[in-house]
Amino acid sequence: MTATLMKGKPLAERIRSEVADEVGRMGHIGLVTVLVGDDPASEVYIRLKHKAATEAGFDATDLRLPAATTEEELLAKLAELNESPEIDAILVQLPLPGQIDEAKVIRAVAPAKDVDGFHPLNAGELYLGRPAIVSATPRGVMALLAEHKVELDGARAVVIGRSAIVGKPVMHLLQQANATVTLCHSHTKDLQRQTLDADVIVAAVGVPALVSPDMVRERAVVVDVGMNRTDAGLVGDVDPGALEVASLMTPVPGGVGPMTIACLLENAVRCARYRRGELAYPG
């Protein structure tokens, strides 16, 4: 039996229309994206985020800074945006040029305006089990699992990849949903042994077809976060042959990708609610 596809597009569209309603209710939500330099992949991401933000009714500002921008200049700009009453949410597109210390920049965004949820305070709140702003891709993964009523309580979940942007936050969210989580990474010995034990597999690696069908347990749920550009087009981390083994699986493209943007917009609404005092930011 072939797995049911967990498509991201319909759910993402629903979320985006709910976000548009919220923007209408609040009247104005100011989102600024900051792109330093002209990395072509980053430009594509920024364009997609702006299109979605504008469609949802945000006041979206596309701030472009030259590749030679110094760390001091970027930090000064962020300090200004942190103070601005027009701006609810700030997104600094990564990666940044080599002369700029990324960790310093991530710490310089006001935590309650940190729409990506990368600030150590937001990462820490998630770690402590009281999430405030959580990065969009992991939230998208969880929303897809919830939409398909995947039972996580007591389930065995294997997350492959331990990045601060995807793998680790997904691990925390699954654990907080009462799954028993194993986090695998590039030094894991015998990955198949781990994955064959999993009711739920989340692959966030960046290696095409790393998860082969024989690594998936019969009727498992598979979420493929990977986005790998190959000669054959955009492919995930999971071999599509796994569709014959899994019960539910996300497609690539059209699975987690659309969810990321929708959840990012949801995060911006959350930032706006913090700034208006509708929600109390922790601390």
Contact footprint for ligand NAD (CB under 6 A): 137, 160-163, 165-167, 184-186, 188, 191, 204-207, 210, 225-228, 256-257, 260
Is 197 assigned a catalytic role?
A: no
The sign of the torsion formed by the CA atoms of 213, 177, 136, 74 equals: negative
Q: What number of other Cβ atoms are within 10 A of residue 18's Cβ?
A: 15
Tokens read off for 58: 């945000």
> What are the phi and psi torsion angles at 84 (to 5°)?
-65, 130
Active-site entry in 49, 77, 113, 168? 49
* Residue whose CB is less far from ligand NAD, 69 or 194: 194
Is 7 assigned a catalytic role?
A: no
Q: Which residue is nearest to ligand NAD (CB)?
A: 163
Distance (Å, whole) CA 272 – CA 22: 10
Is 49 assigned a catalytic role?
A: yes
* Residue whose CB is less far from ligand NAD, 135 or 247: 135
Active-site entry in 116, 199, 224, 237? 116
What is the closest distance, in whole angstroms, from the C-beta atom of residue 283 to ligand NAD in the complex?
27
Active-site entry in 77, 93, 113, 168? 93
What is the closest distance, in whole angstroms, from the C-beta atom of residue 94 to ligand NAD in the complex?
9
CB 32 within 8 A of CB 81: yes
What is the DSSP secondary structure assignment for residue 98, as one 8-state letter? T
* Residue whose CB is less far from ligand NAD, 126 or 160: 160
What is the closest distance, in whole angstroms, from the C-beta atom of residue 11 to ligand NAD in the complex?
14
Q: Ramachandran region of residue 58, left (φ > 0), alpha (ψ -120 to 50) or beta? A: beta
* Residue whose CB is less far from ligand NAD, 81 or 224: 224
Closest Cα to residue 42, out of 100, 91, 107, 108?
Answer: 91
User: Annotated catalytic sites, by residue?
Assistant: 49, 93, 116
